Amino acid sequence: MLPLRADDGYRLWLRYDRIADDSLRASYAQAITEIVVPAQPDSPWFPRSIPTARDELVEGLRGLLGVDVPVVEKPTRDGALVLGVLTRSPELAALVSERDSRAAGEHGYIIQPVVRDGVRQTLLVANRDIGVLYGAFALLRHIQTHRSVATLAQISAPRIHLRMLNHWDNLDRFIERGYAGQSIWDWFNLPDVLDPRYRDYARANASIGINAVVLTNVNANASVLTRKYLEKVAALAGVFRPYGIRVFLTARFSAPIEIGGLKTADPLDPAVREWWQAKSQEIYQLIPDFGGFLVKANSEGQPGPQDYGRTHADGANMLADTILTRGGHVLWRAFVYSHEMPDDRAKQGYSEFQPLDGEFRSNVIVQVKNGAIDFMPREPFHPLFGAMPRTPLALELQITQEYLGGSVHLAYLAPLFEEVLDADTHTAGSGSTVGRIVDGSLDLHGISAIAGVANIGSDRNWTGHPLAQANWYAYGRLAWDHTLSSEAIAKEWIRQTFSNDPDVIQPLAAMLMESREAVVDYSMPLGLHHIMAVGHHYGPGPWVDVKDAGRADWSSVYYHRAAVDGIGFDRTARGSDALSQYAKPVRERWSDPATTPDELLLWFHHLPWDYRMKSGRTLWDELGFYYQRGVDSVRRFQKTWGGLEGKIDAPRFTHVKALLGRQEREAREWRDACLLYFQQFSKRPLPEHVEKPEYSLEHYMSVKRRNIPGDPARR
């Protein structure tokens, strides 16, 4: 057993530490004796991707095996690992079946053992250069997780075309809803100084298949489209290009006015269209593989086409026309709700976008959050999924934990991602899952996309909480293949990030798998939602009303509707009728409290405090049960983590231990504040199984947190 090496988390899951088991290490060294990189021309779209794959293999194998594996142009010995692009190597293409080549697609890879001239070799080949790089990372992952490579045969291709990270980073380096420090983009020193961290960021993303990055906040600043900033963006694009990552930018809809000198941004105005055409041409001159634009319009005060009496389709199509011939895409966000608030906020995205189905250009993708409110700890899937079959829809997930305790609370989000991807919309019969809608296979779209709001910042360990790295990793793995299980991904991440010791893997995986549900339990159980503190969203605030929030649908009382007669938001036909936006099988199941899953009960129903739950408890007692269960879960995590002392390096062990201590304290605060507040309406004593609150309701209501990271008011 090698001694534990202190780790600050910077290396993420690409640690490549030497394998302690001598026999296992020797078996890998025997299986890969040399790296063969035949001479071949570079790809114009993925320049240096093959050399990058070669260098990653050399570095990774040196670390894992403790030897330098030689690089040659032709196989010379048994155990050669042969890299190549099938479309440029007829000799290698002849060794791969046409079926396997088709299965790998444009960006997938093939790892296949062969025997040539009596010599045992392993092919690592693809139809494009970037596929070889993805295959190199997959092979190293295989070794890091101590799986055999002697007879490894694998074909893997991404199910979704654009696998994107959305950075909510501002040009002043403040990250909206970011909890791990400042933005890693040092705009002041770009393009002259290229921080080595940019390459490490690209490596980490490529290792999990992420191939597109939106650099700037959806609450956009038009300045990023000026020449000065575009040159900085071009410098970043140059770092990312060998790793197969295309750069996207957020486009502020009023940019023609703010930086173009026009008096209007009307998408049907010829001068506006001409301005965007010229701007797109300028961008492509600097960044030939520019991916396109992400747009937040007519939402939360952002400008948009509705300011001129135009539709979202008018605005999206105007931008899409300027980049269509360049292979660019417009991702137009469906996160919209009216300033006048005429209806249940959960209905408004559907109401605005569903009538526009089929009106968008072929290179427009409508980007839809997983739920209709706003990244709550749990939401039902957004009703737009399945309701726009003639329009490609991207799924937007939040990796950063805006409503799940930021970088303080442990919340492994892969189960949340898996939950929505596996959700059956029933819009085209059984099996019409969100995953199949997003990957384009249900409606046969030629382009598909998924987006994750990044949790990355300038903290040395990238994500603040050491275990929050798992959310970045899991998002990438599910973006590549949404049929993977969140538990398998958790174990894979643990093996690469901490240890291959079963005594570490099993308890830590169990802890991760339970963690998101624990946060739901102690904050917003049984379908409760949006009951957090105002503004910064950190901590409980079920008492927040319109006076605190500024508008009703930013308040908590609008959503939980607690009163003497009960609690919950009625979204059935008797209430807001938001359920009418779902397909009939879903609508019928969720319209009846008896058949609505407990975890969504108060999302769709307003029920009396003495409503009898499936457990046999009253609703009030059940609410107390869930809040207490959440606290108990965190205490169990503390015990589990404590049992790993000596098996985890001291810096990361100490850091996580401290964070779990704080999480337990804040879980109790959530439980006590919410139950005491709701008790005013239930008029019932706290259930026997719930611990006595430490303070009064007045105390919890008086708590005012300041300087919360990521709070826009902090800028």
- Is residue 6 assigned to a domain? no
pLDDT above 70 for 298: yes
DSSP readout, 624-654?
HHHHHHHHHHHHHHHHHHHTTBTTB-HHHHH
Answer yes or no: do 555 and 528 share one domain. Answer: yes
- Is residue 591 assigned to a domain? no
> 708: domain CATH number?
3.90.1330.10
The DSSP output letter for 159 is S
What would the pLDDT profile of 452-476 be if each residue is shown by its tens digit?
Answer: 999 999 999 999 999 999 999 999 9
Q: Which of 186, 294, 295 is nearest to 232 (CA)?
A: 186
pLDDT of residue 151: 81
pLDDT of residue 533: 97
What would the pLDDT profile of 337-350 be if each residue is shown by its tens digit?
Answer: 877 767 899 999 99
Answer yes or no: do 34 and 170 share one domain. Answer: no
Answer yes or no: do 151 and 195 share one domain. Answer: no
Answer yes or no: do 33 and 93 share one domain. Answer: yes
The DSSP output letter for 599 is G
What would the pLDDT profile of 383-404 be if each residue is shown by its tens digit?
Answer: 999 999 999 999 999 999 999 9
State how far the Cα of 217 lies from the Cα of 60, in Å rounded to an integer. Answer: 34
> 52: domain CATH number?
3.30.379.10
Answer yes or no: do 649 and 619 share one domain. Answer: yes
Q: Residue 366 forms beta bridges with which residues?
A: 332, 393
Answer yes or no: do 461 and 346 share one domain. Answer: yes
pLDDT of residue 105: 97
Out of 93, 126, 156, a domain closes at: 156
What would the pLDDT profile of 470-512 be if each residue is shown by its tens digit?
Answer: 999 999 999 999 999 999 999 999 999 999 999 999 999 999 9
Helix axes of 414-421 and 486-497: crossing angle, nearest 10 degrees: 150
What would the pLDDT profile of 649-675 be if each residue is shown by its tens digit?
Answer: 999 999 999 999 999 999 999 999 999
| Residue % of the chain over a pLDDT of 70 | 99
Whether the predicted model's global pTM rises above the 0.95 cut: yes
CA distances from 381 to 329, 452, 520, 617 (A): 25, 16, 16, 28
- What is the arithmetic mean of pLDDT over 605-629? 98
- Is residue 577 assigned to a domain? no
Would you call 50 exposed, middle or buried from its count of C-beta atoms within 10 A (0-12, 13-18, 19+)? buried
Out of 156, 184, 208, a domain closes at: 156
Asked whether the CA dihedral 430, 436, 441, 444 is positive or negative, the reply is positive
- What is the arithmetic mean of pLDDT over 149-169? 95
| Residue % of the chain over a pLDDT of 90 | 95
CA distances from 3 to 19, 66, 272, 530, 648 (A): 12, 16, 64, 46, 11
CB 211 within 8 A of CB 163: yes
State how far the Cα of 539 lies from the Cα of 706, in Å rounded to an integer. Answer: 12
pLDDT of residue 341: 67
Answer yes or no: do 144 and 167 share one domain. Answer: no
How sure is the predictor about 516, in pLDDT bands with cuts at 50, 70 and 90? very high
How sure is the predictor about 42, in pLDDT bands with cuts at 50, 70 and 90? confident
State how far the Cα of 286 lies from the Cα of 283, in Å rounded to an integer. Answer: 5
Answer yes or no: do 560 and 458 share one domain. Answer: no
- Is residue 171 assigned to a domain? yes
Would you call 299 exposed, middle or buried from its count of C-beta atoms within 10 A (0-12, 13-18, 19+)? buried
- What is the arithmetic mean of pLDDT over 24-47? 90
Please tell me whether residue 144 adopts helix, strand or coil conformation. Answer: helix
Beta-sheet strands, E only, within 7-137: 34-36, 71-72, 80-85, 109-116, 119-126
pLDDT above 90 for 150: no
State how far the Cα of 255 lies from the Cα of 257, in Å rounded to an integer. Answer: 5
Please tell me whether residue 103 adopts helix, strand or coil conformation. Answer: helix
- Is residue 168 assigned to a domain? yes
Active-site residue, from 42, 73, 300, 645: 300
What would the pLDDT profile of 82-96 be if each residue is shown by its tens digit?
Answer: 999 999 999 999 999
pLDDT above 90 for 595: yes
Answer yes or no: do 166 and 59 share one domain. Answer: no
- Is residue 503 assigned to a domain? no
622 is catalytic: no
User: What residues contact 183, with CB distance under 8 A and at least 6 apart?
Assistant: 167, 169, 170, 173, 174, 175, 457, 458
Active-site residue, from 17, 195, 374, 649: 374
Answer yes or no: do 546 and 474 share one domain. Answer: no
Contacts of range 700-705, beta carbons closer than 8 Å, 24 or more positions apart = 700/540, 700/669, 700/672, 700/673, 700/676, 701/543, 701/673, 701/677, 703/539, 703/669, 705/533, 705/536, 705/538, 705/539
Answer yes or no: do 84 and 131 share one domain. Answer: yes
374 is catalytic: yes
**Phi-psi group of 469: left, alpha or beta (phi > 0 → left; psi -120 to 50 → alpha; rest → beta):** alpha
CB 286 within 8 A of CB 330: no
How sure is the predictor about 311, in pLDDT bands with cuts at 50, 70 and 90? very high
pLDDT of residue 660: 98
**Domains in the chain, number:** 3
- Is residue 381 assigned to a domain? yes
Mean pLDDT of the chain: 97
- Is residue 139 assigned to a domain? yes
Active-site residue, from 7, 129, 352, 402: 402
Answer yes or no: do 49 and 198 share one domain. Answer: no
pLDDT above 90 for 429: yes
Out of 156, 172, 188, a domain closes at: 156
- What is the arithmetic mean of pLDDT over 218-240? 98
State how far the Cα of 313 lies from the Cα of 316, in Å rounded to an integer. Answer: 5
402 is catalytic: yes
pLDDT above 70 for 703: yes
| Residue 655 lies in domain | 521-569+606-714
- What is the arithmetic mean of pLDDT over 199-210? 98
How sure is the predictor about 197, in pLDDT bands with cuts at 50, 70 and 90? very high
